[in-house]
Amino acid sequence: MGFFKRMFGRGQDAPRSEEEARQEEQKIDRATAKARHGLFGQIASLFATDEPITDELWDDLEALLIQADVGVETTMYLVNRTKDRCNRYGVKRAREARDMLKAEMVRVLQEQERRQPVNANPSIVLVVGVNGAGKTTLIAKLAYRLKNQFGKRVLLAAGDTFRAAATEQLETWAERVGVPVISRGQGADPGAVVYDAIEAVSGGDFDVLIIDTAGRLHAKTNLMLELQKLRNIIRRKFPDAPHEVLLVIDATTGQNGVLQAKSFLKAVDVTDVAVTKLDGTAKGGIAFAIAQDIERPIRYVGTGEKMTDLALFDAETFVESLFAQD
C-alpha cells in the first residue's frame, strides 16, 4: 500500500483510487522494460549472487551506470554512497548490497522534493523545452489526462509560433483530445497568443491553461527573453502564475538533453520536469542525472505512444521496475 499512499494527494492529477494508482505503476513498469532488459538488467545481475563484494564489482557498477546515462558525477555519488552504506552495516555479499544500491537510487530521485501544488483556479502551466523533445505530444497527453480522468476544463495556447507547423500540430491534438486551443498561426507574436489565452481563462470557464512555447536553442538569448516576456504577460493578470513551469526532456538524448535543458533554468523558474520517450531507450539512467544536474523533481514520464501513456513519476516504483525480474 506504500505506493498508493504516496500517489494520493499529490495535486489535481494524482490517482484517486487504488486501481488508478496501480495503473500508474504498470505504465512505469512498461516504460522501463527496455532499460530493465538492458543495462539495468546487467546491474541487477551483478548483485544477484552471494559472491563477496570486490573492487571489481564496484568498477563494473560504475561502468554500467555511466553507460546507462546516469552521468559521471551522479555515478560516482551513487557508487560511493552505496559503498559507505555497505561498510557501515557490515554488508559483505553482492546480493545484500543490492538493497543498499536501490535505496541510494531512490534517495537521489527524492532529494528534489516536489513543492506542494498551488490550489489555483485556473491553474496555469507553462511548458518549455527544446524543439523535438516531445512538448506538443506531452501537452496533448496532459490535457487528455486532466480532462478525461479528472474532469478538468482545459484550454491550450499555441505559443510556439516560430516552428513550422507547431500551431497546426497543437490544433490537431486539441481536436483529438476534445479541448479548445487559442492560436494565431505561424509567425504571430507569442505574447499576443498568451494574452488572448489569459483573457479567455479569466472568465472562470476553464480550470487549467496549458501554454506551449518555442524551443529554439540556436537563438538562446532571444528564446530566454521571449520566455520571460510570456511570464510577465501572465503575471499582469495572475501575479502568482505560472503555477507550474514544466521542462520537457527527451530521455533518448541522454546527457545532451540534460545540458540543453539547463538553458531553460536561467530563463524561467522551472518547477518540474517531464521525461518523454522513456519507453524508447534501453538506458533509463537519465532520470538520476536529471535529479542531480537539473535539480528539479520529475513529475511526469511519457510511457508509450497512446494518449493515455503518461504517468506521474514515483521514485520507488521507478527503481523497483528497473531491477524487477520478468
Which residues are known binding-site members? 129-136, 212-216, 276-279
What is the CB-side half-sphere exposure of residue 101 using CA atoms within 13 A? 26
Burial (CB < 10 A; 0-12, 13-18, 19+), residue 23, is middle
Greatest Cα-to-Cα distance within the chain, rounded to the nearest angstrom: 67
Hey, which residues does 298 pair with through a beta bridge? 273
- Distance, CA of 99 to CA of 105 (rounded, Å): 10
Distance of CA 218 to the CA centre of its chain: 23
> Which of 283, 270, 282, 279 has its CA nearest to residue 310?
279
- Distance, CA of 53 to CA of 210 (rounded, Å): 50
Provide the annotated binding site for GTP: 129-136, 212-216, 276-279
Angle between helices 39-46 and 315-323 (to 10 degrees): 80
Residue 155 in 3-state DSSP? strand
H helix runs in 32-149, sequence order: 33-37, 39-46, 55-67, 72-88, 94-110, 135-144
Tell me phi and psi for residue 184, to 5 degrees.
-130, 5
Residue with cell 497546426: 168
Q: Output the CA torsion 64→67→70→75 (10° steps).
A: 50
